[in-house]
Amino acid sequence: MNLLALDTPPTAGACYRFLVDSAEQAAALIRERLGEHARVLSVRSVAGRGWKRLLTAPKLEVIAQIDPPAETAAPATGEAPPAAVVPPSHGRRLLPDSARTLPELLDRAGFSTAVLRRLESNPAWADLSVAPLHRAFVEVGRLLCDEIESRPTRAPLSRAAFLGAPGAGRSTALCKWLAAEVYRRARVGHVVTAEFGRPNPPGPLPLFCEALGVPLAHFPASTQPAIPGGFVYFDLPGLSLRFPEDNTSIAEFLAEEQITERVVVVNAAYDNTALRRAFAAGCGLGATHVIFTHLDETQQWGRLWDYLLETELEPLFFSTGPSLTGDCEVEAVQALARRTLPLSD
């Protein structure tokens, strides 16, 4: 395959390779540089080299091709060209020509029946349902964001446990949060890991803490801040979703150490049943905040509205990739509106 740089004049049938920071950026570049007939052939993550890969976000290598005009697009064999591999939720959604009503479009965007009923009960719905679609989307996004963001703001985290089922990306989420604390907010503190007789693989946490200069201790250790205004974060064993009684030791630790800030980390790529169970397990342990991970593997972001609307858990961020210092949507609610509501700026 002969790959051309993205700044080469677009030619039908040609393939182009480029590196970007996010799939959303890739979608915007494809539309801007290659036009509406372009499609994505492949996407892969390209990490940095050496130890710096821990501190820099990986790039995305995207290969795109411009299809021939519609009348000549089909091969002689009559086979249809392969579909694009990037899920539509990774970029700005376009309005489907076949959609006729606001509820139909919201349903296609992944909004659940419960959220649709919630919207329909709002006094503003009567006007929204007859408004131009582009205006209705903006207003729906504003209504949902206002409902969540109008809740009382919690104090910044200072002494919090990170909870989550195995595979949720709990340690990686903690690393991302530590990077923000140290680099952006210039805070200092330490991290405590615990096992309670159950395996708790540390993953990248020890090496990353060393790179940040954040002390890492194994419980039993001090669970109080070492200096005024410092933080203490706890990396605890994975939650059991099948046997809630196995989480008793974690609940007892949280109570004995009086840790009231509790962050549940949930893999958003889980199917609905597993997602519900993981979220419920965290809430059962008194979660106060939530982090959704693996958003880069999730096609339907719309279903996350249920979890943010049904509870008052404060979303810390959405994790959109494996980088330990980036790949985050810090303004989680606004990011969810952008990804699920067409043209909702």
Tens of pLDDT, residue by residue over 166-187, are 889 999 999 999 999 998 899 9
Mean pLDDT of the chain: 81
Under a CB-based contact definition with an 8 Å cutoff, are residues 38 and 67 in contact? yes
Q: pLDDT tens across 120-147, in order?
A: 999 999 888 888 888 888 899 899 999 9
pLDDT (tens digit per residue) in 24-52: 677 777 777 777 677 776 666 666 555 44
| 197 contacts: CB under 8 Å, gap ≥ 6 | 249
Enumerate residues 6+ apart whose C-beta is below 8 A from 283: 264, 311, 313
pLDDT by residue (tens digit) across 294-315? 999 888 899 999 999 988 999 9
Residues 231, 187: contact at Cβ < 8 Å? yes
Residue 257 pLDDT greater than 90, yes or no: yes
Domain boundaries, the chain: 3-86, 159-340
Contacts of 194 (CB under 8 A, 6+ apart): 200, 218, 219, 234, 235, 236, 237, 253
Which DSSP string corresponds to 276-327?
Answer: HHHHHHHHHTT--EEEEE-GGG-S--TTHHHHHHHS-PEEEEEE-SS-SS--
Peptide bond into 199 cis (omega under 30): no
DSSP 3-state of 124: coil
Domain range 159-340, CATH class: alpha beta
What is the per-residue pLDDT for 197? 78
Q: Given a cut of 70, is residue 2 above it in pLDDT?
A: no
Which pLDDT value is given to residue 91?
39
The rounded distance, in Å, linking the Cα atoms of 252 and 319 is: 29
Kindly report the length of the chain. Answer: 345
User: What confidence score (pLDDT) does residue 23 get?
Assistant: 64
Give the whole-angstrom CA distance, residue 211 versus residue 209: 5
The pTM assigned to this predicted structure is 0.70
